[in-house]
Chains A and B, each alone.
Chain A
Amino acid sequence: MMDFLASVESTEFASWLRESGSIWAYPAVLTLHTLGLGVLVGASAVLDLRLLGAASQMPLEPLRRLFPIMWAGFWVNAISGVLLFMTDATTKGTTTVFMAKLGIIVVAVIVLTTIRRSVFGHSPVSRDPSMTVKALAAASLALWLAAIITGRYMAYV
């Protein structure tokens, strides 16, 4: 495992990302990771807040279209995340906080798809979410907060 991480980190591409000093290398990837975070967590938070009772005059059905936006943010961050990982694989890949972050994101995405199925899976879409859906929305917000906490923590390991 350590050999694999070391070989990832020493590829020419990973070295370029880490050491070139080009604004298009590490800084650009980090910027994409921040934008993707804002889009994914932000769009998810809009839906979660509505499900929890904010802006209750807002019809729920059109919010179905937030999901493609969330997936776009998710993929931008999955790809930029892999690139950031490559630059420091031996350090990041062996820390508990990184494993925790990945686990949190997996659960957050499962919660997201469960919300999608429960709220938008049948028509007509109800304007009043059930208690279960509200609990899922609260869990979603808490999980994104945990993802941000562990993500920020990664900068300190």
Chain B
Amino acid sequence: MHETLDAFVTWLRATQVSEFIRDKPWLWPACEIAHFVGLSLLVGVIGFFDLRLLGAFRRVPLYAAWSLVPWGKLGFAIAAATGVTFFVGAPDQYVNNVAFYAKLVFLLIAGVNAAAFEIIYGARVKTSAAIDATPMAYRAIAVVSIVSWFFVIYWGRMLPFVGNAF
């Protein structure tokens, strides 16, 4: 298992795109900035929607709060794209780092949770003008969302301290 992983890291580091990421001194800091911009957009928009699901901002109709969610997805896309860039540029920093796997686990939980909400309730939410529609299922999904994104950030921040990544 370890040998396969090492071989993968060696192969990835030798690719042109990986070398390109390491060669440009401005690219890594630029991606860090974009990663934080994406994080802020995600936390703000998805956090706002989660609070709405929990019953705050009740005078905002659910469909109206939902119409902001694409901005949260944009934030996620920015953070994900720059995150992949970090990994491709320096896979050796991540593959043996427990914080990296913990972050991935919480990303998976957050992603499955968000997808489940959209698949099960998406159509209903889009047309829901109900001012105080906060059923238990919505609240549970909001709590899972807030907790899992918290740990995504926590383990992301721990990358340089638990392992050796930056």
Contact = CB atoms under 8 A, between A and B. Distances in A.
Interface in B29-78: 29, 32-33, 36-37, 39-45, 47-48, 56-61, 63-65, 67-68, 71
Contacts of A58: 60-61, 64-65, 67-68
Nearest to A156: B29
Given A62-B59, A152-B32, A55 B67 contact: yes
B153 A34 contact: yes
Contacts of A148: 33, 36-37, 40
Nearest to B48: A46
Interface of B: 29, 32-33, 36-37, 39-45, 47-48, 56-61, 63-65, 67-68, 71, 150, 153-154, 156-158, 161
A61 B59 contact: yes
Interface of B is mostly: helix
List 7 A-B pairs, minimum CB-CB distance, nearest first: A42-B44, A38-B43, A41-B40, A58-B64, A42-B43, A62-B59, A55-B68
Nearest to B36: A148
Interface size class of A (residues with CB under 8 A): 35 or more
B161 A23 contact: yes
Contact of A45 (B41, B59, B67, B158): B41
A6 to B, nearest CB: 26
Contacts of A5: none
Q: Which of B29, B44, B59, B161 has the most CB of A within 10 A?
A: B44
Interface string A33-75: 0110111011111100110001101110111011000000000
Interface of A: 23, 26-27, 30-31, 34-35, 37-39, 41-46, 49-50, 54-55, 57-59, 61-63, 65-66, 144-145, 148-149, 151-153, 155-156
